[in-house]
Amino acid sequence: MTELSVHEVRAAQLRIQPHVHRTPVITCRHLDRLTGRQLFFKAENLQKTGSFKARGACNAVFAIKERRPDVPGIVTHSSGNHGQATAYAAALAGLPCTVVVPRDTAAVKVDAIRAYGAHVLLCEPTVDARREVCAAVAARTGFTVAESSDSWDTMAGQGTIALELLEQVPDLDAVLVAVSGGGMAAGIAAVISELRPECKVFAVEPQGKELGASLRAGRALWPPLPGGRLLDTLADGCRLPGCSRLAFPLLCRLVGPRVITIADRQIAAATRAFWQHTKLLIEPSAGMAVAAALSDQLPPQLRRVAVILCGGNVDLDCLGWLAAADGQPADRPDTRLVNDCQTAGLSEHGDQ
């Protein structure tokens, strides 16, 4: 595969359908009133393993096994969510799995990777360390690397989000997608561009990622962080600088200048507001996309906007950042708003 189209995404959907949830779309009248738009939240926080990554990992692992029935195992590197998803997919495929994670990864994510049966290797919190340790494992064991975003199979799996979303809300004006390696944004944009080209896909990045300037220029301009460090951001699922080699040209062509940059203060405030008004748990990377919807960076003519809630894997022992949103103590929930929040199809997804 040298490109990504709806054909490959539909094939991925058939491959992974028995193993992932068709996630619901959530609405909230309070947030609609606050923004003056109709917001549709695609709840990938309710996906298997707690994030959208299950889609791409399942497609990648199953495709690897189809092409190499004798593959001895799977290895990957991750900030947490892709690691959980790959461990889950490898277990379904009956393959041993090793996941390399930075040593400062949230404990809840590391514990979940182990719970799915994978072996965890901790490394220094740098891009280079992740890749080097992963490559060393592959060389020593013969395991195949399942990339988190730099893979056509992974991106095709992530694109299945858009297939479902357009069936659930067919007349969207825009979709907001958080970006780390860019696989989810590229997969969604590939589907949207073919099936609803009038809908605009916006990439949402944490402050310091510097992807926007690169997409506007059509070439990689993001500066390498000293020592290959990962980004320092509350959106712990979006710590990779820049984006992947395969995703970048797709994002240049299909997203271009439509990039929204969000600061940690906005992430914390939006995550807290979403928890309070929808009673659903999302992680800060998903809160970053919510923050984009609540910001003034969207053109006013875009009225029906989807927000991809990329995950819900939160370390509940480390919530000081949430209480400190906007530098203020957390407010007590306003119970009058509970009935303002509506859900669609929550019974579809079953148990995680």
- As annotated, the active-site residues are 53, 79
Q: How far does Cα 54 stand from its chain's mean position?
A: 10
Q: How far does Cα 258 stand from its chain's mean position?
A: 18
- Kind and range of the H or E element at 21? none
Strands (E), the chain: 25-28, 38-43, 74-77, 97-102, 119-123, 144-145, 174-178, 200-206, 259-262, 304-309, 341-344
What count of Cα atoms within 13 Å lies in the side-chain half-sphere of residue 148? 31
Angle between helix axes 6-16 and 183-195 (nearest 10 degrees) is 120
Strands (E), 179-303: 200-206, 259-262
Assess contact for 254 and 190: CB atoms under 8 A: yes
**DSSP string of 287-349, one letter each residue:** HHHHHHHHSS-S-TT--EEEEEE-B----TT--HHHHTGGGSPPPPP-GGGGGGEEEE-GGGS
Assess contact for 190 and 4: CB atoms under 8 A: yes
